[in-house]
Homo-oligomer: A and B are copies of this chain.
Amino acid sequence: MACENETAVVLREAGQKVTPQRVHILCEVRHAGVHITASRLIDELRVSHPFIDASTVYRTLASAADLGLVYETDMGSGESEFEWVGKDRHHHLICRSCGDVESLDNSYLDGMATLLYEEAGFQADLGHFAIFGVCKGCQTKA
């Protein structure tokens, strides 16, 4: 986990106090690479930093989501999943039939964002959507 200094800078720029708890929690999210639930995060943190309270983890994730540092998304598992906001903005297509999860480039939703701005004056923040439906493979099977 070599992202500690970088994470501290990001926190400071966002106007947050840099506490060891926050740095550890957010580094763990970054290190996870992909989506991670709060409870799995707590389990993994317990190994390296057993003193961090669960409520601190939840609060840190919530404020990081507010600040746009992480995405919080309901991928249908019942638990929110978190993901560090990196350079590759994307969404997900989730098949209700086989459960397959695919990534979708941001560009598909850009058109809608433009339309919303032009017609409704609403500046949409299309962060990280989970779009449910039926994938190509499962349609042909039916």
Contact = CB atoms under 8 A, between A and B. Distances in A.
Interface in A87-142: 93, 95-96, 102, 104, 108-109, 111-112, 115-116, 119-127, 129, 131-136, 139
Give the secondary structure class of A's interface: mixed
Nearest to A112: B112
Contact of A74 (B74, B111, B112): B74
Contacts of A121: 135-136, 139
A139 to B, nearest CB: 6
Copies in the complex: 2
A62 to B, nearest CB: 10
A111 B111 contact: yes
Contacts of A132: 124-125, 127
A98 to B, nearest CB: 12
A108 B112 contact: yes
Given A112-B108, A112-B109, A133 B125 contact: yes
Interface in A45-75: 74
Contacts of A108: 112, 115-116, 119
